[in-house]
Structure 1
Amino acid sequence: MILNSFQQQLNENNPEDFSGLKAVFLNCTLKKSPEQSHTSGLISISQAIMEANGVSVEVIRPVDHQIAFGVYPDMKEHGWDADEWPAIQQKVMDADILVLCTPIWLGEKSSIATMAIERLYGFSGKLNDEGQYAYYGRVGGCLITGNEDGIKHCAMNMLYSLQHLGYTIPPQADAGWIGEAGPGPSYMDKNSGGPENEFTTRNTTFMTWNLMHLAKMLKDKGGIPAYGNQRTMWDAKSDQDSPNPEYRS
């Protein structure tokens, strides 16, 4: 059973309607499917809570796809023969919630997580219908696993990256598990203690509910209010006393 009795009770007594929300989890494991990903074990808890409350969830392993390096929306336009990122990017844009998920290697997020953030960044210059940056109105969080230190370090970088792109970050939007400073057991290993860890389970639960609550609030509101943050209005302003480089002759 993935969820404990209290988590199930929260689902059963939920007064909110989260149906209509969509979430994408990017599992930035280095392991191709169907190899076991320890990060997927933590994802499964958050996914189960979301799905029990009507949220449509898709979990994607970027490592299963041919993704080019770069910071443009489609790297096939920049010399690469193949790039499957644009299809993933569309799923991200169709979602209200994005959860970046990674193992820890040498105290850092995985190389796949770095690539995913770089590719997300490549879309950050796009605008929505209100003239705001395209990621406005969406919420983000992160899940981290490993058997060495680095949960908070990785979370700081990942959540900063998401908010810089335009995502809204709710309270306590990160959760993680690390075993004994390694080499030691990973989350899904037998007798690791990971799935039974009260601290990790609680934080994963709080993160998931906070993501759903804030995503619903933003969706009901129609996103972030479009005043004072519209790139289109900034570019059209008549006052160019402090021009950007493109304004200089």
Structure 2
Amino acid sequence: MKALVLNCTLKPSPLPSNTEALATEVVHALEKLGAKTKMIRVADYDVKTGSKSDMGEGDGWPAILKELLAADILIMATPTWMGTLSSIAMRVMERINGLYPVKDEEGRPVTYNKVAGFVVTGEEDGARHVVTEIAGGLMDVGFTIAPQSYTYWNNGPGPGKAYLDSDFRKDWSKQTGKLVAANVVAVAKALKKTPIPA
């Protein structure tokens, strides 16, 4: 079982990432369940604007796409900006959309039998909206969405501290992250046993 976490923070490495901190909780839970997990910080790659799988010389997306296609589970992790997903998460979604016409050896979309989960952080609300936006897009191209497959953290109404600087309700976010891992792994195992047919 392979899981890929795409951290869509706007911050390149080695800057600290609140989204990565919460996503790491999900990674630990996935690994305890036997999933081999890799996290990629998308800001470290030059992912070109576009909707094709390869936008030409210098495009960082093909390397990420290779990992995505090898994974059984995709965890999309993004901060909330102005009430919606980050621009990097949106770019990832646009590039994933380029998989629409791509089929596997049995004629199914290559994203069939892959399961998606979600991690959202922010100093503002909007997490459920972000999950809805990403889940809808991923379902559209063939991903399966497990029940209770997201965890999030926000500071509550108004300005405040970031995830790494706060203790506000983090236990809930971490516990829910364990549930995310359990549910995406359970659905991924079920799909391995009984794949969606062509």
TM-score, structure 2 normalization: 0.96
Task: Report the Cα distance in structure 2 between the residues aligned to 1:198 and 1:37, rounded to whole angstroms.
Answer: 18
Task: Report the Cα distance in structure 1 between the residues aligned to 2:170 and 2:23, rounded to whole angstroms.
Answer: 15
| Equivalent residue number for residue 148 of structure 1 | 124
Larger Rg: 1
Q: Which amino acid aligns with 1:172?
A: Q
| Equivalent residue number for residue 196 of structure 2 | 224
Q: Which amino acid aligns with 1:212?
A: V
Residue 51 (structure 1) shift: 1.2
Please state which structure has a larger fraction of its residues in strand. 2
Q: 1:54-101 CA deviation, whole Å, 9 max, x = no partner?
A: 21100001110111100011111xxxx420101110100000000111
Task: Report the Cα distance in structure 2 between the residues aligned to 1:200 and 1:44, rounded to whole angstroms.
Answer: 12
TM-score, structure 1 normalization: 0.77
CA contact (8 A) 2:109 2:142 kept: yes
Residue 209 (structure 1) shift: 0.4
Percent identity of equivalent pairs: 37
Task: Report the Cα distance in structure 2 between the residues aligned to 1:44 and 1:198, rounded to whole angstroms.
Answer: 14
Structure 1 spans left out of the alignment, 5+ residues: 1-20, 227-249
| Equivalent residue number for residue 88 of structure 2 | 112
Q: How does 1:1-249 map to 2 (within 5 A)?
A: 21-76=1-56, 81-189=57-165, 192-194=166-168, 197-221=170-194, 223-226=195-198
Out of 65-74 and 174-183, give the one that drifted further. 174-183
Taking only aligned residues, the RMSD between alpha carbons, in angstroms, comes to 1.2
Higher relative contact order (CA 8 A, sep 6+): 2
Task: Report the Cα distance in structure 1 between the residues aligned to 2:124 and 2:60, rounded to whole angstroms.
Answer: 32
Task: Report the Cα distance in structure 2 between the residues aligned to 1:224 and 1:155, rounded to whole angstroms.
Answer: 24
Residue 220 (structure 1) shift: 2.1
| Equivalent residue number for residue 9 of structure 1 | none
Structure 2 spans left out of the alignment, 5+ residues: none
